[in-house]
Structure 1
Amino acid sequence: MQMRPDVQISSMIKALEDTILPAIPAGQGLAAEQGRLVVGMLKLMACQLPLQFAFDRDELSRLLDCCDGLAEAMAPWPEAAADLTAALQAGRDLLARCQAGPEDLCGGLRRLNAALAQVIDRVAPQASTAEFERLQAPILAQSREQLLRDRALMATQGWETGPGAPPDIALLLPADTVR
């Protein structure tokens, strides 16, 4: 399982504050200042990251309200009004698809994994060898695929190189989910 950004950021802050910044020699004021700047930016990221999706969703909602307000004023320009109406509908569709947030998705993943584990724990002891193999096959396939994606997500750290390295994570995700 990959480390979530909130854990990564707090780990970086702790390493910088506990080990790296204290090790900077007293005469290296600029280095110490830059280190404190990095810690400050990481703390800002830690505060903003959980809110970013809601922030963007709120901006989209307010922008849609703005476009709604402009619709009547655009009457003298029918072509522009039609373009605005099309953009407004696309924006509404997008906002409708964005109602579940990242925290909902993470929570849903945890709940589904827990439910899967409980169900398997309950039925596996009673399963015949053939039944167990049928239970095991999709779980092993999912584990293989998830491990590959977890490794690919961390590939930019450079721990795995060469022919055995995982592919770019963008190649493993559905094209419509990658920016």
Structure 2
Amino acid sequence: MKRNLLLLFLFVVSIMLAACGGADNAADDERRQAEERDQMVEELDPERETTPSNPSGDNKLGYVRYTKEQVENETEKQHGVNIDRTALANMITRIILRNDGFAEAATLVTDNKTLIAYDKEDALDKDKAADIANKTAVSILPGYFDVYVSDNAALIGDIQSLHNSSIEDNKYDNTINQIIEQMEHSSQGAEE
């Protein structure tokens, strides 16, 4: 009799533990989703880079030296050149906002295009604002980039919607081209 009670007790405890496990999985899913939301908010937070990771390195000159043999070895042949598009977008946006007359700016850097939308104050001439935004991007980016700017602040949200896109995913090309078409209705800065 005691044995049957013990088996019944173990059976009930097993069922209760299994039921609690399902609740934990649901809680884990909610926790994971909250962490993903927090990560996205953190990625878009302009305050996240307030302190340089290597303060003494900011004052140093950049210098490297190689011989021809060093860059022709097998390891070096596999070395690719990468551009940190987020860092470029961050730099462009921050420099634009350091100019008087800009209230908000958003920058999207693709593999060969840069889209900048900004909200300017009324006192700043639209052509001068476009010139500042355009020249800022051109001074930072490699020469093969096409730069598009617009004072249409509504495009800031359109640009932001693409922030998690990949250059390898062509399904966003149509959206980017539509944004560019809208930007071309705005001043693009002085032509030189």
Per the shorter chain, which TM-score range?
under 0.3
Q: Calculate the TM-score normalised by the size of structure 1.
A: 0.28
- Give 1 or 2: higher helix fraction: 1
Q: Tell me the TM-score normalised to structure 2 length.
A: 0.26
